[in-house]
Structure formats: C-alpha cells, structure tokens
Amino acid sequence: MAQISLTFPDGNARSYDAGVTPAEVAESISKSLSKKAISAQVDGAHWDMQWPIKADAKIAINTPADDTAALELIRHDAAHIMARAVQEIWPDVKVTIGPVIENGFYYDFDRQEPFTPEDLGAIEKKMKEIINKRDPITTEIWDRERAIRYYQANNEPYKVELIEAIPGDEPLRMYWHGHWQDLCRGPHFQQTGQVPADAFKLMSVAGAYWRGDSDRPMLQRIYGVAFRNKNDLRAHLTMLEEAAKRDHRKLGREMDLFHMQEEAPGQIFWHPNGWRIFTELQNYMRRKQEAGGYVEVNTPQLVDRSLWEKSGHWEKFGENMFVVEVDEEHAREKAVNALKPMNCPCHVQIFNQGLKSYRDLPLRMAEFGCCNRYEPSGALHGIMRVRGFTQDDAHIFCAEDDIESETSIYIQWLTEVYTDLGFAEFKVKFSDRPEVRAGADEIWDKAEAALLDATRKAGIEPELNPGEGAFYGPKLEFVLTDAIGRDWQCGTHQVDFVLPERLDATYVGADGAKHRPVMLHRACLGSFERFIGILIENHAGKLPFWLAPRQVVVASIVSDADNYVHHVVKTLKARGVRAEADIRNEKINYKVREHSLSKVPAILACGLKEVEAGTVSVRRLGEKQTHVETLGSVADQLCAEATPPDQAKKHELTVV
C-alpha cells in the first residue's frame, strides 16, 4: 500500500498507509490521546476521526480542550440528536437541515402540528436518552442515486431536494447513529455520548421558510444552545437574563422615557424624560455637523407622487410608502402624496435651486429628517424598528474626484462621534457592485476604489460583502459593538450615481460646462430612535451623565432641610445641571431606592448636618459609598460632567 507522510503540530512527520484515519493515527501515538480524541484538523480542515487521509498533510488531533472544534461537534451532533429524537417521538415528521449557529444549533422540521413548550421538554428528555445510549456514530459514502432512492422511499422530500441541489458528482456522506441516519457533510463525534447531556437546552420554536424563501413552505425551527459543560450553559442563560434586563422596552417604561400604543403602531410617544435624551443627542449632532462643514436644511413631509416617480421610489418602494389622498378643492382628481420615506429627493430639490458652481462643491447638506416607512408588521420591534423615525441624514454633493477625500473626512468625523458616544470600537463593511446595477463599470471601479482607499487610509480594513451594494452605487456600513458584545449596524455611506441623473442635478464646472454631481448618502446614527434604543441597552439604562434625562435628585432627609434642598437645586440648575428636588415625606431609604431604580446618576441627600455645613451627601448610581462635599465643589464637578463631550473638548482647548 502507498505511504503518505503526516506532519504533526510539533513539526515531526510520520509515515502511514494511504487512507489512514485520524482515529488510527491517534491510536498509533498513544492510548490516552486516542481516548480523548474527538476530531482532527487535516490541512486546516475539520476532519472526522473516521475519514481516510489519502495524501501528505499536516495533521492535528483535537481533544475536548480545543474550544472551537469541540463546540462545533457538540452543537452539530446535538442538532442531529434532536432531529433523531423528534423522529423517534413523531415518526411522520420530515427532517430538513440543522446547522450550528452562535451558541448552539437549530433544526428545521416539517410537521402539521405545532411544537409546544411541553414538546420541547419531551424532546430534551429523549435527546438525553439517546446521548446516554452512547450509540456509535458511523459514516458511509453513498452515491446520489442510492441516496435519492432512499429518501424517496422514506418519504423525505426535503432531503431529496437538498441532494438534487448539491452540485456535480460530489459523493454524499451519510451518518448513522443507532438505526437513525442523516445526510450530512460532517464531521461528527464517534458516539452520541460525547455530547454533554447536561449542557444543552432547547430554547424556542419559530417558523422559518424552507430554504429562506418566503414563497416556499413554512417549517418549524427548534432552536437550542449547547456548551461543553453545565457551567458554561448556566453562564449563557445568566447572560440572556442580563440581556433581558437591558431591554429598552422594559427600561423605557421603568425610566418613563416613552410608550407606544395600538392606535399608532410603530410610532413613538416620547415622554419628557425620553425626549430629553432625544434632544440632547440631536443638539450634539447639530453642533458636530456644523463643525463638520454641513449645512442643515428641512424639507416637506408630504410630497406629491410625481417626485417619487421621478426619483424611482414609487416604482421600487411604493409598497412601503404611506400614501395620502386628498380632495383638493380645485382638482378634478384626488391629489396623491406620500409621506417621505427618505430625504434624498427633497435634498436634490434644494440643490437644484439656482445654479451651482464647482466652487460650491462639496456641498454637505444635512437634515434631521422625519421619515415614515410602512414596515411589515412582523418587522416592528420596540423603538429599534419603527414606522416613523428621524434620520441623521446628509447628502454630500461632490465631483467624482472628491469621493475619496469626502469619504476620508466622513470616516474621521464619524469616528469622533462614535467615540464621544462611547463606541470607540467599530467595524466597517464594504459592499461592492451587485449583478443588477446602474452606471458604467469604469465609474464603479473608481467609486469602489475610492471607498476602499479612504477606509484603509483611516487604518481600518473593511470586511467585504461582495455584490451587496445598492444598484446605484457601492457602500460602506459602520457596525458598532455594544457592552455585551452585540453588533449594531448604524452608519452608512453610499455612493449614488443614479439619483442626480434622475432628478437632473447639475453644476457648472471650471470649464463653463454643466456637469453631473455625485451624491454621497450618509448617516451616522442611522435613526435617533434606534440609536437611543441601542444606547439604553448598551448602558443598561445608566446613561452617561450628559445624556441622562434626570441628572440629579436632591433629596431631603428631614423637612427642616426643604429650603436648603431648593437652594441646592437652584444652584445646580444655574450651572446647567438637570436637578430636581424630592422633599416628599418619605424615608431617605425609600427615596434612594426609587431614584436608583429609575437610574438617576446622582442623588444628593440633605439633612440638618448638611444644612448647617453648607454641604451635600453625594451618592452616585451603582455605588454604595456616599461622601459629603461642599455644595460649591459638587456643583463644579457635576457641571463639568453635564457638559457634552464635544463642548468639553472645546473648553479644554480654550483653556490650554
């Protein structure tokens, strides 16, 4: 038999018969390794212990200590074991696919009856039985014909379709445990008992379209999480509880920020506290935009159909627009208007007023535009995904040659904003030309290169999203990561060759001829509503002092301190701090508890001692310790904290 050479991680090589399996390799090294082994890496690929190795390769044997490999196998095998459990309980259920996902796995089933929470418990129990049976997992290669015949005979149409979709003459791999088998590319464990029986949990059932296509049947997806041990599972469940505590919908109610109601689905009733956050953030953005060379404009909410037809939105996004018909008194037909779903066509109208010269470019036009989009009901989510929202939108009208420099300037500016708002770390995604697109390839070449070069010059290597650009131009997306590791796509920066053309925007060049400007659509926060939701969840409601709607509560301990409390509040307000008095006839314990729960960052308690000494007792949110300080120094400190970051920086500069 032919010999092959396998090189181990330590650099040593050994020779084996061609077709040797990692199981045999492990055995040849040591008994203990062969016992522990779960899979292998062969030339970097994750390799089943039973798969033959036919040529020279680098090999490493994985043990349960190898996080990535172990978790992948645990989750993948758990998915298969779940599918087997389901079919053992309900033999008529049809199986489809069951991949590994973050923290766990899912499997999609076709079953008439819906799965209930009680069913999940029964499935879990059955899964544990299967694990405890320690059934050996074996693998076989089948040809397509045999596999198709097998699945046809077993009435598994989804599997037949999957096989038919696998290209070419690739051999098909079947996995068996016990009498049960599934088509799978592997790798898997050696026996079902290698999945920890106490470290997985079935979480939920949800509908999911077959092959992700909304025109195809809806299947039932069961989601599970799986880990290497009980403790990791417990830690994950605790993390989920923590995330639930941060839910902006819950905190929004507790902090009295906003509410929503049936009569206005997907729209927000902002209460005073919430609106304070909104305006504070908007004031900040307005100052930043002004500093960044933007001009701010405001355009109509309700715009006649004809403009949307010209811009192309009517045809492409009409389904998602709120349309308003009005009986105008002199008109023969009803006037048809739409609430603006975006600001760009209106901005072009402003650009088109009068003649623009190349000297006017780049023209950075910003609007806190209130937009309405008819989002499908199932897409709505708290204040994160709504039907009425405010964008921090801007369009930069510039020459093609300016794309790169404007992109650089924008990335710099956006970095400052994200840093000020507590998101110093962010990722950039780059989407290039889609199959169906407008504009000549040379222009796309130039625009894509400009976006990429500008991003790299900012020291960021973007992730690539091939083919994901808009039909009218390539784009950058800015993704920030929150305090518990979740990603939020917020900023965008898109090149648009099409809209200036459609709406006939022109400028007079140095050559005296008319030219077509390029438009850069950009937003940094995305929508204020969603961004505030992200801020609330990121900070678990404990917003930075300058954004906190209620910054200070001054609480009396005895009613003889009431006058002093009012004096303290007045002093702080005069320094621009949002302070309020709490002189209710309640114990200080009660007041501290209540204001702490509603996330007021600073509580100043005043009793007779403070009245006499002209001090306050300071208690900061989240701290048990209190300290007594003079009113003057507390006011100085809180005033500094209440200053928004951009103004604080400016202040530093003028002082230095």
Partner RNA sequence: GCCGGCAUAGCUCAGCUGGUAGAGCAACUGAUUUGUAAUCAGUAGGCCGGGGGUUCGAGUCCCUCUGCCGGCACCA
Contacting residue, 114, 167, 168, 354, with RNA by CB under 7 A: 114
Contacts of 322 (CB under 8 A, 6+ apart): 338, 339, 372, 373, 374, 387
Determine if 265 is a binding residue for RNA (CB under 7 A). Answer: yes
Tokens of 381: 């989510």
Q: Are the C-beta atoms of 407 and 373 separated by less than 8 Å?
A: no
Active site (annotated) includes residue 373: yes
Tokens of 544: 């930075």
Q: Count how many residues are written for the chain.
A: 656
Determine if 467 is a binding residue for RNA (CB under 7 A). Answer: no
Range in contact with RNA (rule: CB under 7 A) among 171-179, 212-220, 420-428, 435-443: 212-220
Active site (annotated) includes residue 567: no
Contacting residue, 520, 588, 635, 642, with RNA by CB under 7 A: 588
Which amino acid belongs to residue 401?
D
Q: Which of 364, 387, 475, 493 is catalytic?
A: 475
Tokens of 98: 């069951």
Determine if 628 is a binding residue for RNA (CB under 7 A). Answer: yes
Nearer to RNA, 152 or 204 (CB): 204
Beta partners for residue 61, in sequence order: 40
Annotate 262-289 with DSSP letters as a single string. Answer: TTSTT--EE-HHHHHHHHHHHHHHHHHH
Given the DSSP bridges, would you call strands 518-527 and 388-398 parallel, antiparallel or unpaired?
Answer: antiparallel
Nearer to RNA, 159 or 373 (CB): 373
Contacting residue, 162, 208, 409, 460, with RNA by CB under 7 A: 208
Encoded one letter per residue, x for contact with RNA by CB under 7 A and - for no contact, window 521-560 reads: x-----------------------------------xxxx
Determine if 194 is a binding residue for RNA (CB under 7 A). Answer: no
Give the integer Cα–Cα distance in Å for 85 and 96. Answer: 14
Range in contact with RNA (rule: CB under 7 A) among 78-86, 569-577, 599-607, 644-652: 599-607
Contacts of 620 (CB under 8 A, 6+ apart): 601, 602
Nearer to RNA, 148 or 380 (CB): 380
Which among 407, 406, 400 is positioned nearest to 444, based on CA atoms?
A: 400
Contacts of 181 (CB under 8 A, 6+ apart): 174, 175
Which amino acid belongs to residue 106?
Y
Q: How far is the CB of 220 from RNA (least distance, A)?
A: 6
Determine if 610 is a binding residue for RNA (CB under 7 A). Answer: yes
Contacting residue, 621, 639, 640, 648, with RNA by CB under 7 A: 621
Range in contact with RNA (rule: CB under 7 A) among 38-46, 47-55, 296-304, 579-587: 579-587
Tokens of 492: 């965008």
Determine if 485 is a binding residue for RNA (CB under 7 A). Answer: no
Looking only at residues 383 through 412 of this chain, which bind RNA when binding is defined by CB under 7 A? 385
DSSP classification of residue 516 = P
Active site (annotated) includes residue 593: no
Contacts of 213 (CB under 8 A, 6+ apart): none
Nearer to RNA, 117 or 354 (CB): 117
Encoded one letter per residue, x for contact with RNA by CB under 7 A and - for no contact, window 145-164 reads: --------------------
Give the integer Cα–Cα distance in Å for 492 and 489. Answer: 8
Q: How far is the CB of 610 from RNA (least distance, A)?
A: 6
Active site (annotated) includes residue 651: no
Range in contact with RNA (rule: CB under 7 A) among 135-143, 179-187, 206-214, 403-411: 206-214
Q: Which of 184, 344, 398, 524 is catalytic?
A: 344
Encoded one letter per residue, x for contact with RNA by CB under 7 A and - for no contact, window 235-264 reads: --------------x---x------x-x--
Contacting residue, 24, 27, 124, 375, with RNA by CB under 7 A: 375
Determine if 220 is a binding residue for RNA (CB under 7 A). Answer: yes
Nearer to RNA, 174 or 260 (CB): 260
Nearer to RNA, 72 or 537 (CB): 537
Determine if 221 is a binding residue for RNA (CB under 7 A). Answer: yes
Chain-centre distance for alpha carbon 608: 51
Determine if 354 is a binding residue for RNA (CB under 7 A). Answer: no
Q: Are the C-beta atoms of 408 and 388 separated by less than 8 Å?
A: no
Which among 647, 588, 598 is positioned nearest to 621, based on CA atoms?
A: 598
Q: Which residue has the tokens 């110093």?
A: 424
Burial class (CB in 10 A: 0-12, 13-18, 19+), 61: buried
Range in contact with RNA (rule: CB under 7 A) among 23-31, 328-336, 532-540, 583-591: 583-591
Determine if 519 is a binding residue for RNA (CB under 7 A). Answer: no
Contacting residue, 50, 87, 494, 538, with RNA by CB under 7 A: 494
Beta partners for residue 84, in sequence order: none
Q: Are the C-beta atoms of 637 and 575 separated by less than 8 Å?
A: no
Looking only at residues 409 through 448 of this chain, which bind RNA when binding is defined by CB under 7 A? none
Q: Are the C-beta atoms of 490 and 479 separated by less than 8 Å?
A: yes
Determine if 324 is a binding residue for RNA (CB under 7 A). Answer: no
Q: Which of 41, 87, 181, 391 is catalytic?
A: 391
Active site (annotated) includes residue 391: yes
Nearer to RNA, 89 or 218 (CB): 218
Q: Which of 305, 356, 373, 599 is catalytic?
A: 373
Which among 90, 96, 76, 179 is positioned nearest to 130, based on CA atoms?
A: 179
Determine if 326 is a binding residue for RNA (CB under 7 A). Answer: no
Given the DSSP bridges, would you call strands 463-465 and 426-431 parallel, antiparallel or unpaired?
Answer: parallel
Q: Which residue has the tokens 């040797």?
A: 20
Determine if 204 is a binding residue for RNA (CB under 7 A). Answer: yes
Determine if 315 is a binding residue for RNA (CB under 7 A). Answer: no
Which amino acid belongs to residue 11?
G
Determine if 60 is a binding residue for RNA (CB under 7 A). Answer: no
Give the integer Cα–Cα distance in Å for 508 and 512. Answer: 6
- 481 to each of 129, 298, 418, 452, how far by Cα in Å? 40, 31, 11, 22
- 609 to each of 338, 566, 585, how far by Cα in Å? 63, 16, 18
Active site (annotated) includes residue 393: yes
Active site (annotated) includes residue 76: no
Tell me which residues are annotated as active site.
344, 373, 391, 393, 395, 475, 521
Where do contacts with RNA occur on this chain (CB under 7 A)?
114, 116, 204-209, 212-214, 218, 220-221, 249, 253, 260, 262, 265-266, 313, 316-317, 320-321, 341-342, 373, 375-382, 385, 470, 494, 521, 557-560, 585-590, 592-593, 596-597, 603, 605, 607-610, 617, 619, 621-622, 624, 626, 628
